[in-house]
Amino acid sequence: MTTTLTAADPIPDDAAPAPEQLGPPRRFAALHPVGLSVALLFFVWSMTPSLLPRVWYLQAVATGISVAIGYGLGCAAAWVVRRCGVSPNFSDRTRRIGWWSLAAVAAVTVPTFLVLGSWWQQIVRDLAGVERINRANYLLILVLSLAVAVLLLAAARGIRRGTRALTRVGSRYVPAPIARLVAVALVVVVGIFAVNGLVYRGLIGLANQSAAAADQSTADGVEPPQAPERSGSPASAQPWDTLGREGRTFVAGGPTAEQITSVTGRPALTPIRVYAGRESADNVDDAADLVVAELERTGAFDRSVVAVATTTGRGWVNARVASALEYTTGGDSAIAAMQYSFLPSALSFIADRETPPQAGRALFEAVERALAERPEESRPKLVTFGESLGSFGGQGAFSGAPDMLARTDGALWVGTPNFAPQWSYLTAHRDSGSFERLPVIDGGENVRFVASAADLELAGAPWGDPRIVYWQHASDPITWWSFDLLLNKPDWLREPLGDDVDPGMRWIPFVTFWQVTLDMVFSADVPPGHGHTFGADAADMWAAILQPEGWTADDTARVHTVIQDGLPE
């Protein structure tokens, strides 16, 4: 039977105009207005400054992730409200006004904060001593950030559809609530296995193979050393081609005795540098034994200072820190290091957090045992240092600061990640009233946190022996990154910010975490004294830790200058 409607008949619900006739186009009507409103708020927040300047495409990624998170949180909030029995029934006219109001707000807010974001980035660049950029690039952020947000939203919806499909299948056999719970559990388990399989066995495996191949190369201008005091030389038991790319750079670099004398005006020795590459041994204990054998061969235990350096993942040692020690000791020193991975620090952190402290402990304890065999009165000073993942690994040799003080004659920890247990403990138990970015420990009696050489003095507080220095910058995302940033405001953002951090930086849930995460990408591409770049102040650090006899502030200044101007080839 056919029903005919006249002009006077009411229009049934199923014949109502399509959504696009009443409000936004259909593609927008599929999105939740509350989700879009919160996404717009997160877009605004993502433009605020963080620790370091970001290139436009990293800003776009941070913004896209923030927008997707904001949309998800808005939708979740709306869902909770509906579950509580609150379901407003707005008229078509009200909905239409709401959509166009949201569009109008977005039309004003988005370009405004793109301009403000580019301005804030210029301020951060000035604070970090980085050259300004063309602000017009910020126009590209909108396009790329929306693409990132859409991809993340599509992935989330795909997971939701998969969960619902599993729920429908499961409800044929069990009650719907149980089916839903099982479906969610299955999706989580499959996701975990997929990520583990893809990241750890797939991407990390490929990255390791690629890094291992790159490790066979040698940096431009690096030649095998001829001095017997170096691993990789004709006199060494460690062949040049086994040292790895960073190991070869380390043993081939550093000042000669003549260069040290020209700077300090004092007679000098050729500094000893020994090293074992990743390919030299099957495990870190065997590699440590090879390093100790090199120390014995070179007569390192007859020097005044032996330094144990824990490297980053791929075996890197900061040349400025190593050379500053050698200038400060007049070359009467030996530095021992070894490679424990092919991967750079970022991937080593993801793939394996256990090996760095194992390597740091293995090398330090091997050197410590060798020293214990010598008469106490003829033992050299034993110091230790490391940067970034090397700092984390090097501290793994000790249970805490008291253990360091008992077993070393000094330590320099540079750019320590805050997941290092020793760093975390000291920072959490700092003296009342001191800042998290520069904690004061027991009045500075033995341990001092510094951002620059000026902080070493600690307003003239007495400084005993031995001395441990934690060198870190207020703008270093490697030190301040933590999963806690997602939902918790850290103390370093409650306190007065460092001099090189934009005063406008604020903690924002979820957003700050992604900002600091992406700050890490180029954290070492800023001038020394900012971010994760540590330079000439290493001369001041070692002079304060070692306190060489007859050493003066002028001596430190000369070493500072030569390191700042560029180390000799």
Residue ending a domain, among 166, 187, 210, is 210
Residues facing residue 333 across a β-bridge? 305
Regarding whether 204 and 84 lie in a shared domain, the answer is: yes
Pick from 40, 179, 58, 191: which is nearest to 107 by CA?
A: 40
Residue 130's domain comprises 24-210
- Is 427 contained in some domain? yes
Residue ending a domain, among 179, 210, 241, is 210
Record the pTM: 0.88
- Is 526 contained in some domain? no
* Confidence at residue 15, expressed as pLDDT on a 0 to 100 scale: 40
Residue ending a domain, among 210, 239, 273, is 210
- Is 114 contained in some domain? yes
- Is 482 contained in some domain? no
pLDDT along the chain (569 residues), means of 10: 40 42 52 92 95 92 95 91 83 89 94 92 92 82 93 88 85 82 79 64 62 79 95 96 94 96 96 94 94 97 97 92 97 97 70 86 97 93 97 96 97 96 97 96 97 94 96 97 95 94 94 94 92 95 96 96 77
- Is 121 contained in some domain? yes
Regarding whether 252 and 145 lie in a shared domain, the answer is: no
Regarding whether 354 and 412 lie in a shared domain, the answer is: yes
Regarding whether 199 and 232 lie in a shared domain, the answer is: no
- Is 479 contained in some domain? no
Whether the CB-CB separation of 135 and 118 falls below 8 Å is answered with yes
Give the Cα separation of 129 and 526 in Å (integer): 7
Q: Report the 3 state secondary structure along 415-448.
A: CCCCCCHHHHHHHHCCCCCCCCCCCECHHHCCEE
Whether the CB-CB separation of 328 and 543 falls below 8 Å is answered with yes
- Within a 10 A sphere around the Cβ of 293, how many other Cβ atoms? 16
Regarding whether 242 and 137 lie in a shared domain, the answer is: no
Regarding whether 245 and 200 lie in a shared domain, the answer is: no
As for how many domains the chain has, the answer is 2
Give the Cα separation of 151 and 164 in Å (integer): 20
Regarding whether 197 and 237 lie in a shared domain, the answer is: no
Residues facing residue 383 across a β-bridge? 307
Regarding whether 257 and 181 lie in a shared domain, the answer is: no
Regarding whether 453 and 404 lie in a shared domain, the answer is: yes
Regarding whether 193 and 228 lie in a shared domain, the answer is: no
- Is 490 contained in some domain? no
- Is 249 contained in some domain? yes
Regarding whether 276 and 184 lie in a shared domain, the answer is: no
Regarding whether 197 and 57 lie in a shared domain, the answer is: yes
* Confidence at residue 350, expressed as pLDDT on a 0 to 100 scale: 64
Residues facing residue 305 across a β-bridge? 333, 381
What are the Cα distances from residue 90, in Å, to 75, 77, 94, 98, 249?
A: 18, 18, 6, 10, 70
Name the 3-class secondary structure at 133.
coil
Strand residues in 233-300 grouped as ranges (E): 272-276
Which residues have C-beta within 8 Å of that of residue 346, sequence separation ≥ 6?
520
